[in-house]
């Protein structure tokens, strides 16, 4: 009964030290006031325990939680629990979901498991021995996550018809992957150098090459304070910088004079045709057509499949509004005669010749054919003007949705939408990386470059511009990987870092850029790591997210992914394909275990959720 449940819980709380004090006391109601406890509808039994990241440490005593024989969900993930898992816990007959990831449990998995288990997540622990699971004892299993442990031996031939998500990666498993499990993706098995067979390399190949291993830093494990030291430059480095800098300045002044002179003499140029407004004011000096010469020779180049029916003349006649000034140039919203809205980006400082520009546009056009990418519709190149044309997205960017309109009527972006946008964005970047070739990067991943469709699908914009403009966005500095700050070279791994910062932004609700200017930058990864080090992970999350129930587990999983992406060493970061798979796993378990996150749900309506 409820009394014996509360006695067992008090025994657990007194035996297991915890940093964050639990408010469990025998005088208060277990069901309505004890933190982390959910009861059955009639309030007679404890059905779920959610105690993620509260600094629980040491072993769990037997005869404590194991006595809660109406328990359906147990989530003790992201603590410091260690020792063997008491066998009476996974064998609780009613247990459906067991989340113990990111602790330091060791020993073997107990053999007697609840036949009702639906989710078993023991990942990121030190469990060892064989994976002693059988079909018979787990007929309902849909999620099995054992990644990052020390399991050894062969994988049992599990025929689990309901299993949707399997992750055995990064263990010490060997032998051939059973045929029943070969339908799972390669990511389910990576990081087991002695494992072979589809989807890994064929077993006939003598020694399968070890797959790359990256170790995401678990949020509750303290890491060393990051060195904030700045390197001093020696004279040998300063002299070329000074000489280079001065020559560049002189060149700039000359170019400026030349441009002024040229402008004065080019009367009657097309610029007079363009009507541009900026919040109702004329924005003549900013007209995106002012550099267009000999329009008949340099027509707009449309990409294949583009259904737009306008030409350069129409574009230059359109009324335009400045959307914003970015590092690569100014973006205008242009309304064409038929009411069609497009965005014209006027590039500045294009550092390549026409041929190279066209080649890059070919790649950009090809890469843009994906549901999570803003396709480029057309471009224009002449000596004095370079324009890119794409669709206008009235819903705006992720940045606007997260940080804009902080007033009272504001509707915060809910968790499910954030997961959907993150997954879409990750897929878009992964596509850019695979379709564009190993050297092709986005180079400027940030929340204002993730545009949203009406149904909140994330689409990545502004890709592939770093190589033609030779500009590193100063506005994106808070998203920039540490190695890019040193080398000024963007890579696919630096895109992964920037995406990690974007995930942190989405989780914390904090922007890595302060609106007051680009010098004022928050180092989000450093801030998050420091809060996590203080052992209270929940503090990092956006207060707007805290009102959605039963999403903490997913938020912590997403935080793990973000922290893996912002690992300092580029090689240790996952690839974007891996990131997509990791987010999909969250999405999948979310779909399997939880109705959508709306704030009206009753506390007990989804006890199957961590």
Ligand X SMILES: Nc1ncnc2c1ncn2[C@@H]1O[C@H](COP(=O)(O)OP(=O)(O)OP(=O)(O)O)[C@@H](O)[C@H]1O
Q: Is 345 assigned to a binding site?
A: yes
CB of 576 to ligand X, least distance (A): 19
Which residues, 6 or more positions from 485, have their beta carbon under 8 angstroms from its beta carbon?
none
Cβ distance to ligand X smaller for residue 79 or 473: 473
Task: Evaluate whether 550 touches 609 at the Cβ level (below 8 Å).
Answer: yes
Per-residue DSSP letters for 533-582? HTT-GGGGS-GGGTTSTT-HHHHHHHHHHHHHHT-SSGGGSPPHHHHHHH
Q: What are phi and psi of 471, to 5 degrees?
A: -110, 135
Q: b/e per residue, 218-237, with b = 16+ CB within 10 A?
A: bbbeeeeeeeeeeeeeeeee
CA–CA separation, 466 and 114 (whole Å): 55
Task: Evaluate whether 167 touches 585 at the Cβ level (below 8 Å).
Answer: yes
Cβ distance to ligand X smaller for residue 229 or 281: 281
CB of 506 to ligand X, least distance (A): 15
Cβ distance to ligand X smaller for residue 92 or 344: 344
CA–CA separation, 476 and 444 (whole Å): 7
Residue nearest to ligand X (CB): 326
Cβ distance to ligand X smaller for residue 326 or 368: 326
CA–CA separation, 147 and 450 (whole Å): 31
Cβ distance to ligand X smaller for residue 185 or 324: 324
Cβ distance to ligand X smaller for residue 273 or 392: 392
Cis, peptide link before residue 199, omega less than 30° from 0? yes
Nearest C-alpha neighbor of 73 from the set 43, 102, 114? 114
CB of 255 to ligand X, least distance (A): 21
Q: How many Å from the N-terminal Cα to the C-terminal Cα in the chain?
A: 23
CB of 474 to ligand X, least distance (A): 8
Torsion of Cα atoms, 517 then 518 then 523 then 524, to 10°: 70
CB of 504 to ligand X, least distance (A): 18
Task: Evaluate whether 552 touches 52 at the Cβ level (below 8 Å).
Answer: yes
CB of 352 to ligand X, least distance (A): 18
CB of 452 to ligand X, least distance (A): 9
Cβ distance to ligand X smaller for residue 448 or 557: 448
Q: Give kind and range of the element (H or E) at residue 585.
A: helix 576-593
CB of 399 to ligand X, least distance (A): 6
| CA distance readout (Å), 593 to 44, 504, 585 | 23, 24, 12
Residues that bind ligand X (CB under 6 A): 323-324, 326-328, 331, 343, 390, 392-393, 396-397, 444, 448-449, 451, 461-462, 473, 475-476
Cβ distance to ligand X smaller for residue 70 or 389: 389
CA–CA separation, 203 and 212 (whole Å): 19
- The annotation places the binding site at 345
- The annotation places the binding site for ATP at 345
């Amino acid at each position: 009964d409820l009394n014996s449940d509360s006695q067992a819980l008090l025994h657990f709380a007194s035996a297991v030290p915890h940093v964050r004090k639990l408010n469990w006391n025998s005088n208060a109601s277990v069901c309505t006031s004890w933190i982390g406890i959910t009861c059955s509808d009639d309030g007679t039994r404890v059905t779920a325990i959610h105690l993620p990241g509260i600094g629980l440490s040491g072993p769990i005593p037997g005869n404590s939680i194991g006595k809660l024989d109406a328990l359906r969900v147990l989530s003790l993930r992201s603590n410091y629990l260690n020792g063997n898992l008491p066998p009476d816990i996974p064998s609780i007959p009613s247990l459906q979901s067991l989340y113990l990831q990111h602790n330091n449990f060791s020993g073997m998995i107990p053999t007697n498991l609840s036949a009702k288990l639906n989710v078993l997540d023991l990942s990121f622990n030190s469990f060892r021995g064989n994976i002693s699971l059988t079909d018979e004892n787990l007929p309902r299993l849909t999620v099995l996550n054992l990644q990052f442990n020390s399991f050894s031996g062969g994988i049992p031939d599990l025929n689990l018809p309901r299993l949707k998500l399997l992750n055995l990666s990064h263990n010490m498993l060997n032998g051939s992957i059973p045929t029943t499990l070969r339908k799972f993706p390669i990511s389910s098995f990576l990081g087991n150098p002695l494992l072979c067979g589809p989807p890994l390399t064929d077993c006939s190949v003598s020694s399968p090459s070890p797959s790359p291993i990256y170790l995401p830093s678990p949020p509750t494990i303290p890491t060393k304070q990051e060195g904030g030291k700045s390197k001093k430059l020696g004279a040998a480095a300063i002299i070329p910088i000074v000489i280079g800098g001065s020559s560049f300045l002189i060149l700039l002044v000359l170019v400026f004079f030349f441009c002024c002179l040229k402008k004065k003499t080019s009367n009657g140029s097309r610029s007079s045709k363009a009507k541009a407004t900026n919040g109702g004011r004329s924005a003549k000096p900013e007209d995106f057509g002012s550099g267009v010469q000999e329009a008949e020779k340099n027509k707009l180049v449309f990409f294949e499949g583009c259904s737009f029916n306008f030409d350069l003349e129409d574009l230059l006649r359109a009324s335009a509004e400045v959307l914003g000034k970015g590092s690569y140039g100014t973006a205008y919203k242009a309304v064409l005669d038929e009411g069609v809205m497009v965005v014209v980006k006027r590039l500045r400082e294009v550092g390549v010749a026409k041929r190279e520009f066209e080649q890059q546009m070919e790649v950009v056009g090809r890469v843009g054919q994906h549901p999570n990418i803003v396709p480029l519709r057309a471009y224009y190149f002449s000596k004095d003007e370079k324009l890119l044309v794409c669709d206008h997205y009235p819903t705006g960017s992720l940045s606007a949705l997260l940080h804009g309109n902080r007033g009272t009527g504001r509707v915060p972006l809910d968790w499910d939408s954030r997961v959907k946008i993150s997954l879409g964005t990750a897929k878009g970047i992964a596509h850019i990386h695979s379709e564009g070739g190993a050297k092709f990067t986005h180079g400027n991943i940030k929340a204002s470059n993730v545009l949203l469709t009406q149904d909140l699908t994330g689409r990545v914009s502004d890709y592939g511009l770093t190589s033609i403009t030779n500009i590193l966005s100063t506005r994106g500095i808070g998203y920039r990987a540490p190695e890019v700050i040193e080398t000024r070279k963007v890579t696919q791994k630096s895109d992964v870092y920037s995406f990690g910062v974007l995930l942190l932004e989405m989780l914390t609700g904090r922007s890595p850029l302060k609106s007051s200017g680009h010098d004022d930058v928050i180092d989000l990864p450093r801030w998050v790591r420091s809060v996590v080090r203080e052992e209270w992970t929940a503090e990092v999350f956006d207060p707007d997210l805290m009102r959605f129930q039963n999403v903490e587990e997913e938020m912590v999983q997403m935080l793990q992914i973000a922290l893996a992406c912002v690992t300092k060493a580029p090689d240790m970061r996952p690839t974007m394909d891996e990131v997509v798979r990791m987010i999909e796993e969250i999405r999948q378990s979310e779909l399997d275990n939880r109705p959508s996150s709306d704030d009206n749900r009753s506390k007990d309506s989804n006890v199957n959720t961590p």
